[in-house]
Structure formats: structure tokens, C-alpha cells
A and B are shown apart, each in its own frame.
Chain A
């Protein structure tokens, strides 16, 4: 699944500093290293791969254009994830409008296809989650999505969201409460 290499802190700082100095190849390397991470965040917020890919692209472009402003290169990952999460949140409403108009072509999907029943179930779940996420507040959507990421502590989620750990817990609690109602037919 993608490029699962995880940059060590030294590599990452070096790449960020090189990107800040205007080396495009360095930023391309950061993209390769973090696109999967970025997709994990965006998919959890948007519930759908195509829309998530769009948000990730937007996020990387924003990061590229403003990387010079990043004061602490070692915080790059959290900084990037915040940008991607914001891009995904902005896209939530637009995604809803687009989904109503056209069925998006499976542009970013590969050829592997599961059985029709599995596919239909997965499709239903995807749509239900996308709809449910729309019912959450921005902060709730961000909190529940980021908290679901492995190896991201609540403190780190709080840093990405720019709020306290207590606030993260509160938003996650509320999000779960709402999702429990909205997705009850999918909960076993």
C-alpha cells in the first residue's frame, strides 16, 4: 500500500529544510513519504477515496506554497496533517454537492474488485459514513478521524487541531455519540 517508508526525524528535517530552500525534489520526497498518512486522515474525514485524494492534493499544494513559514521543521508531519485535515473539512460540503450531481469516475482506484455483494456493502457503508460525517461539526469530524489513526497520541491530535487534549476527548465523545445514532444499522 503506497510508500510505507517512514522518515526518521533527521531525514525529515533535512528534507523540510531543503524544501524551504526551494528544492522541489526534496518536497517530492516528502510527498512520497507522507501521502499515505495524509490519505489516512482525509479518508477518515471524507469517507471516500476519490474525494480524499482531491483533498490530499490540495493539502500538499498548500503545504508546498507555505512551507517557508514552517518554523520548526521537525513538526512537519503534524503541520501537514493539519493542512490536509482542513482541506478535507472544506471539501466535505463541496463533496456532498458534487455527489448529488454526478457519480465520480473511479479515477484513483486500481483494477482489483471484490465480489458484487461485498462491493455493494462497502459502497453502502462508504456512503453512510460520508453522510454521517456531514452531520458532525468540523471539530468533531477532525477529532474522530485523527484519533482513529494509529500511532498518533491524543496529545498529537490536540497539536494538529490546535486545541487541548481535553477538548479533543470531548469532540471525540460527541462524534461517537452522533455516529452511534447515524450508523446504527451498520453497527453489529
Chain B
């Protein structure tokens, strides 16, 4: 076992020695030096113009924040008044045609009325999930079974909440 171990080590060493014996050290040194020169120049530019880099980073960060805010605002669900005076937040998940309803206190039954304009011709049904605003998600009873949406456009077309409004009846 020990002999095998030594043999492997010797083999690796033999190859390393063989390879190292062929190295032109001056050439390698020159190559490293050249790479360091390039790195040095990049480093100098960054050091010389820190303000420019800071401004660029600031602009990029601000743009990112604006973008995030826009996305959040676009996705933000509208508040709806429940018939018992409580409020609900409804989020439509476009891809699945489902919705999440967020309310302070889940009633046994509730109806959400939304102004959809003059024409109402379509009915849709999709699953929804109630998210208790107080964070109490333990009770499975809070899960709704279905929702009816009345809207003037095809059901699964574009139901982005930012532009469409609709009638809904939620049964809990």
C-alpha cells in the first residue's frame, strides 16, 4: 500500500519535474508582467475616475429601483369593497386564470362587486386562495373553492388587473 502510494507520488513528481524543466522562466515572467500591465491600466482607470464609476453605478441602481417599483405597482392588486363593509385585495394570476383574495377577516360568504363598465357578457370560474391579512393561514377553512368573474372580454385573454375591472362573486 505504502509502495503504491509512493509510486503514484513519484509518477506525479516525475511528470511535474519533466514539465517544469521545459519552462522558459524569463518568458513566463515577461508574460506575467504583460498581463499585470494590462490589469494595472484597468485598475488605474477605475481609480482615476472614481466619480464617473460612482455616478454610473448610481444611475444603474436608480434605474433598477425604478424598474422594480414599476413592476410592483403594475402587479399591485386593487382593493375591493366587500358587501359587509370589509375590504379585499384581489390578485389575478393571468397564466392560470386564477385569483388570490386577501382580506382582513375571512367571512363565511362574501361578494365582491367591481365596476366593469357597460358591457358584461362573459362568465368565468377559477380557484382562489384567501390570504388572511393578519397572517393567520393555519385554518384550511379560509381556502375558497371557487369564484365567478363577469367580464366583457374573453376569460383567459388579458386580465391584467391594472387595466381591467370586473364583477366577481366569491364564495367562501
A binding-site residues for B, Cβ under 8 Å: 1-3, 24, 27-28, 31-32, 35-36, 39-40, 43-44, 47-49, 52-53, 56-58, 60-61, 64-65, 106-110, 112, 122, 125-126, 129, 144-145, 148, 176, 179-180, 183, 186-188
Residue of B with least CB distance to A46:
B19
In the complex, what residues of A have CB within 8 A of residue B20's CB?
1, 36, 39-40, 43, 49
B36 & A43 in contact (Cβ 8 Å cutoff): no
In the complex, what residues of B have CB within 8 A of residue A65's CB?
39, 43
In the complex, what residues of A have CB within 8 A of residue B15's CB?
43, 47, 122, 125-126, 129
B29 & A35 in contact (Cβ 8 Å cutoff): yes
Docked Cα-Cα span, A89 to B154, in Å, equals: 57
Docked Cα-Cα span, A85 to B141, in Å, equals: 58
Main secondary structure of the interface of A (DSSP, over half): helix
Contacts A44-B12, A126-B15 known; 6 new A-B pairs at CB < 8 A? A24-B40, A49-B19, A57-B32, A60-B32, A109-B23, A179-B8
Q: Is B115 an interface residue (CB 8 A)?
A: no
Interface centre among B5, B15, B24 (most CB of A within 10 A): B15
A-B CB pair tally, cutoff 8 Å: 117
A31 & B25 in contact (Cβ 8 Å cutoff): no
11 A–B contacts from the bound complex (CB under 8 Å)? A1-B23, A2-B23, A28-B33, A31-B32, A31-B33, A35-B25, A40-B20, A49-B20, A110-B23, A122-B15, A145-B12
Main secondary structure of the interface of B (DSSP, over half): helix
Q: How far is the CB of A63 from chain B (nearest CB, A)?
A: 10
B binding-site residues for A, Cβ under 8 Å: 4-5, 7-9, 11-16, 18-25, 27-29, 31-33, 35-36, 39-40, 43
In the complex, what residues of B have CB within 8 A of residue A145's CB?
12
Docked Cα-Cα span, A126 to B19, in Å, equals: 8
Docked Cα-Cα span, A106 to B27, in Å, equals: 12
Q: How far is the CB of B103 from chain A (nearest CB, A)?
A: 52
Q: How far is the CB of B123 from chain A (nearest CB, A)?
A: 58
Q: Which of B16, B23, B39, B43 contacts A108 (CB 8 A)?
A: B23
A148 & B9 in contact (Cβ 8 Å cutoff): yes
Q: How far is the CB of A162 from chain B (nearest CB, A)?
A: 22
In the complex, what residues of A have CB within 8 A of residue B11's CB?
125, 129, 179, 183, 186-187
B21 & A1 in contact (Cβ 8 Å cutoff): yes
Docked Cα-Cα span, A109 to B28, in Å, equals: 10
A188 & B36 in contact (Cβ 8 Å cutoff): no
Q: How far is the CB of B45 from chain A (nearest CB, A)?
A: 13
Residue of B with least CB distance to A144:
B12
Docked Cα-Cα span, A61 to B32, in Å, equals: 8
Docked Cα-Cα span, A39 to B14, in Å, equals: 15
